[in-house]
Amino acid sequence: MTTEPRLRIAMQKSGRLSEDTQKLLKRCGLKLNVSDRRLLAHVSNMPIDIMRVRSSDIPGLVMDGVCDLGIVGDNTLEEAALERQLMEQSHSYVKTTGLNFGGCRLSIAMPEEFNYQGIKSLDGLRFATTYPQLLNRFARNNGINVEFCLLKGSVEVAPRVGLSDGICDLVSTGATLEANGLKEVEVIFKSTASLIQNPAVLEPSKQKILDTLLPRIQGVMKAKESKYIMLHAPKDKLAQVSALMPGKETPTVLPLAGREDLVAVHVVATETFFWETMEELKSLGCDSILVMPIEKMMG
Ligand code: ATP
């Protein structure tokens, strides 16, 4: 009996990326049940298996070919690639597509009272971090020497207990730093989640599955960034209203029953565009403005 090859994708089991990853896969139409304790979740309507692991294990699983693809933060990916290169282990991968979640930055933070006068003031200091390779690369590129102590969690507490002079850790809002009496002094790496794959050519049947999945992922991402906007516009201002609409698509213009002076205008735009342009639209006499989320966008 021959079994159909299944595409294996690694994702974070639990943590900051797991919910967004699951949501993405579900919105791509994958039926998967990850509520149980199984580490290998079967997608019931496509030949795909989801392997649920620690984030830090994902790069290695993809680079070693255990999984065909993985969804992981660029920070974890880059750290693993540098470490594996140093250890002379396989460290190549292909970034199939960037994803629009998991945004954060890896930053150096110092106690508030530290007199920061540029990168050179970090020379010779000791940092608590989960990312020694990225920190080392930053130090090398900037001509300074740093020491590090490796901590896998609660990095922010290290300076207060005398373990280090500063920290090098992930930041999104900066609230945790502030709560721990630290200030961000240098951003050393910017990160979002990415879909990565092993550099080897996929066997044709697996490539076919990826060729179905990838446009869906891109469609879901595009939809997340876009809004469907409907408004009523004065007919005699249509040219000015259309000129405010971005993108390659021309707006859809529809008549309104019983109104010779007004038309309905529909357009797909990013939310940022909308807030920036709303006041101008209003001043042209537009009203009944509706902004709606888009579930999916293909083509
Ligand atoms: P694991 O425990 O699964 O090995 P982890 O310790 O990195 O991984 P999380 O804290 O859940 O687990 O972080 C997962 C990823 O989420 C990070 O590697 C990073 O890419 C992203 N992320 C986004 N914002 C933040 C943030 N403010 N702090 C930490 N990680 C963040």
For residue range 156-205, list pLDDT tens digits in order. 999 999 999 999 999 999 999 999 999 999 999 999 999 999 999 999 99
**Comparing 104-191 with 226-293, is the CATH topology the same?**
no
Query: Ligand 1 pocket, 17 CB below 6 A?
Result: yes
pLDDT of 267 > 80? The answer is: yes
Residue 194 beta carbon below 6 angstroms from any ligand 1 atom: no
**pLDDT class of 1 with cuts at 50, 70, 90:** low
226 CB under 6 A from ligand 1? Answer: no
CB 107 within 8 Å of CB 187: yes
Ligand 1 atom 14: residue of nearest CA: 16
**Block residue for tokens 């190549």:** 92
Give the nearest ligand 1 atom to 193 CA. 20
CA distance 61 to 53: 10
* CA 170 to ligand 1 center in whole angstroms: 8
Rounded to two decimals, what is the model's pTM? 0.88
Give me ligand 1 centre to Cα 43, in Å. Answer: 25
Q: Which CATH code, of 3.40.190.10, 3.40.50.620, 3.20.19.10, 3.90.550.10, is assigned to 104-191?
A: 3.40.190.10
Out of 55, 184, 196, mutate this one to test ligand 1's pocket (max ligand atoms within 8 Å of CB): namely: 55
Using only the alpha carbons of the chain, give its radius of gyration. 24
The average confidence (pLDDT) of the chain is 93
DSSP 147-193: EEEE-SS-GGGTTTTTS-SEEEEEESSSHHHHHTTEEEEEEEEEE-E
Ligand 1 atom 16: residue of nearest CA: 16
Report the b/e string of 246-270 with b at 16+ CB within 10 A: eeeeebeeeeeeeeeebbbbbbbbe
In this predicted structure, the answer to whether residue 248 has a pLDDT above a threshold of 60 is: no
Q: What is the CATH architecture assignment of 226-293? A: 2-Layer Sandwich (3.30)
Q: Taking the CA atoms of 96, 97, 101 and 102 in sequence, report the sign of the dihedral they define.
A: positive
Rounded average pLDDT over 133-152: 98
With the most atoms of ligand 1 within 8 angstroms of its CB, the residue from 75, 170, 177, 189 to mutate is 170
- Please report the atom of ligand 1 found closest to the CA of residue 56: 4
Q: What are the structural domain ranges in the chain?
A: 7-101+193-200, 104-191, 226-293
Residues in contact with 166: Cβ distance below 8 Å, sequence separation at least 6, in sequence order: 108, 109, 110, 111, 114, 122, 125, 126, 127, 128, 159, 182, 185
Q: Report which ligand 1 atom has the smallest distance to the Cα of 12.
A: 3
Beta bridge partners of 207: none
- The proportion of the chain whose per-residue pLDDT surpasses 70, expressed as a percent, equals 97
Cα 111 to Cα 28: distance, rounded to the nearest angstrom: 44
- Token pair 């943590």: residue: 15
Give the distance (Å) from ligand 1 centre to CA of residue 17. 7
Q: How confident is the model at residue 36 (pLDDT cuts 50, 70, 90)?
A: low
User: How far does residue 56's CA lie from ligand 1's centre (Å)?
Assistant: 9
CATH 3.30.565.10 matches 7-101+193-200:
no
State residue 246's pLDDT score.
Answer: 67
